[in-house]
Structure 1
């Protein structure tokens, strides 16, 4: 059970979907980027998680996977202040954009798993 995790994610249409994720035994050989938060200054490891598809495809063993922060620090990562690339850069707006993009990417993944 040590390699299992659950992601409970609100979808874009207001539903909440829970997905059982299974961590791959192998770890990426190089520094991977999380598909959800896409933080390039990650203080944590990124690992591959797979989820069985819903419906007949899942019963046949079909899965889909993604790279995610090992301990799901994505929410904290997107709330960190982004580096300031130029004077006058709106860090608060950039932080909100990162939060919105995290919701979009996580929702898209769980909706893909739940599609039948």
Structure 2
């Protein structure tokens, strides 16, 4: 992913009010992000742990999507699968994230949701840059997995924008 400025990120949100965008906290290590290893920028808001953000480059535009989740409950001994990167995690490390739809549909309360890695670090998992606790059966290369991730992420963004 090409590096983005804080202003680029704040201007990109399609399902948030101006006051919500102004209040969002950028990732703590924003100046040191590994942009070359990211297919999208995803982070949880340290001031509001149930809130997260996805910023994806789509063609020449940047689309930011605010998502929310519920605090994870008691850890269970099952596996969960991220719908974006198809990485298997302990079920407590995958969360159902909901995003308000953009425009009038979102103002009417309509949302879309999907299961995503709870820490929103899909790009790092598919490249082996972040450790996994659950053995993976994936044999595709990181490049192929990145293409699949991008396709699924764009489909999610399309659902938010529809």
TM-score of the two chains, using structure 2 as the length reference: 0.57
Q: State the 4+ residue runs in structure 1 displaced beyond 2 angstroms.
A: 24-31, 80-85
Which residue does the alignment assign to 1:23? 69
Q: Which runs of 5+ in 2 are unaligned?
A: 1-47, 130-135
- Three-state SS of the structure 1 residue aligned to 2:112 is strand
1:99 paired to 2:116: no
Aligned length in residues: 106
- Three-state SS of the structure 1 residue aligned to 2:124 is helix
- Structure 1 pair 96/54, CA: closer, same or farther in 2 (3 Å)? same
1:18-52 superposed Cα distances (whole Å, 9 cap, x missing partner): 01100124559642200011013x37700011000
Query: Structure 1 residue 83: deviation in Å?
Result: 5.6
Which residue does the alignment assign to 1:72? 120
- Three-state SS of the structure 1 residue aligned to 2:60 is coil
Which residue does the alignment assign to 1:36? 84
TM-score of the two chains, using structure 1 as the length reference: 0.77
1:51-110 superposed Cα distances (whole Å, 9 cap, x missing partner): 00011211110000010111112001111297686xxxxx6xx22100111111112111
- Three-state SS of the structure 2 residue aligned to 1:3 is strand
- Structure 1 pair 108/39, CA: closer, same or farther in 2 (3 Å)? same
Give yes or no for contact 1:23–1:49 (8 Å, CA) kept in 2.
yes
* Aligned equivalent of 1:5, options 39, 52, 55: 52
Q: CA RMSD in A?
A: 2.7
